[in-house]
Chain A
């Protein structure tokens, strides 16, 4: 059974439909990438899974359970972590407090503390600045903190909105390594990304969105090899 499954989700803002009938599956310990050009509705789709935008129809299943009607805070508590693209930290809270907020709904004090230390070990960049307010961090450090914060909730699946955007190639590579490590822990990852090549290279499975619809899906490597995709969306040039 898939950890997270979106069935024919149609969503948007107000009365405007942005994405139509999108179905996506994420298994445990698998990286799934949703790629597509700017404005294809990738982020809106991701937010629709979290109850942050209006859903017109479709169902969302988490470990087989229907969570479509859950408010956003209950979706998080069910086991779905989310790393937004921008505004992804609590700027006025320290690094450690940011991590604590990720575990807000957990009751096991000892476990929270252990996870907090583990994440700081995992991201030495953050450990050095653990008492600083998050607003003093660089973009890459914020991205790491956002991932760390999401992991503190011990999610079964992690949703990431363009985790590689605005990052230097070096930092992007670091983030990709971390995502691979998270996958090894059996957590499912769903990432929406505009850096198509990087995302599909890292992904087990991919979906291509254009103008709010799913044009193509398949194994990451298969999508990368697809001639029409390369021509229409990647311009045949490998982007880094």
Chain B
């Protein structure tokens, strides 16, 4: 019983990271119609911004999360203005935009490696585990799940109750009609780029606090994040929420399964792709499609 509850908790933790990291990817895909690979480095960048505030034992996690959100949001806004927007305005198709995002990601990753360090770093506050009912938790995990809940509910309200949120959905559904309805597409895109990458930066702080910080922090989890985004039906926020926790469950149950048959838990990444392939065979457009 306790073990089962622990697996569910671990699934929620994995799913929360995927949700935070995948939100921006799926929202900006809806607006700009290309998968932005630089999101890997947005996650990493957030982790390093967090490190600035959490390298001492008395660092404040909420402050680090807020700083990572704003700094990563700004980084994304600059990369949109300097790199993606000029390409979009010249009517670049998916492949050039995607390759540009991979290139931009490399630039950010190597800049981080040179500026900070290529060696793995650790956040200073060590999170003590304690018993909470049948499971062992750390305060970090509770913060992480709280942040994911806040993001999920907050974005739901934004997308369904506010004019800006409805405009984000309108542009994703019919970009030309949005334009002739008087929606300033540029302004909405700026906002979405900032917001989405901000959440990715927050994911970076939590991921680094839970594991280690290195310039490949985001790159290492980019593939499962893409799996989640595709699984959810790329561009669909609600599909993303479902897929994030589904994959979290699959990975954490899969790890138990791997151990039971005597295989290395290194294979846990393969589980994500097994689930992805199975779902896509039966629902090619993803869960929400």
Contacts and interface: CB of A to CB of B under 8 A. Distances in A.
Which one of A73, A77, A149, A153 has the highest number of Cβ atoms from chain B below 10 Å of its Cβ? Answer: A73
Given A93-B166, A93-B170, A101 B176 contact: no
A151 B170 CA distance: 17
Interface in A89-132: 89-93, 97, 100-102, 104-105
Interface stretch (B70-78, B178-186, B249-257): B178-186
Given A84-B176, A87-B174, A102 B181 contact: yes
B173 A92 contact: yes
Contacts, number: 67
A87 B181 contact: no
B172 interface: yes
Interface SS, B side:
helix
B232 to A, nearest CB: 15
Contact of A73 (B166, B170, B174, B184): B184
Given A93-B169, A93-B170, A101-B167, A88 B177 contact: yes
Contacts of B166: 93, 97, 100-101
Interface residues of A, number: 25
Which one of A89, A100, A104 has the highest number of Cβ atoms from chain B below 10 Å of its Cβ? Answer: A104
B163 interface: yes
Nearest to B184: A73
A104 B180 contact: no
Contacts of A76: 179-182
Contacts of B185: 73
B169 A105 contact: no
Given A73-B184, A73-B185, A104-B163, A90 B170 contact: yes
A207 interface: no
A91 B176 CA distance: 13
B277 to A, nearest CB: 27
Interface string B108-134: 000000000000000000000000000
A153 B181 contact: yes
Interface in B152-182: 163, 166-167, 169-170, 172-174, 176-182
Contacts of A104: 163, 167, 181-183
Interface of B: 163, 166-167, 169-170, 172-174, 176-185
Lowest 5 A-B CB distances belong to which pairs? A76-B182, A92-B173, A105-B182, A72-B179, A90-B173
11 contacts: A52-B179, A72-B179, A82-B180, A87-B176, A89-B177, A93-B170, A93-B173, A101-B166, A101-B178, A101-B181, A153-B181
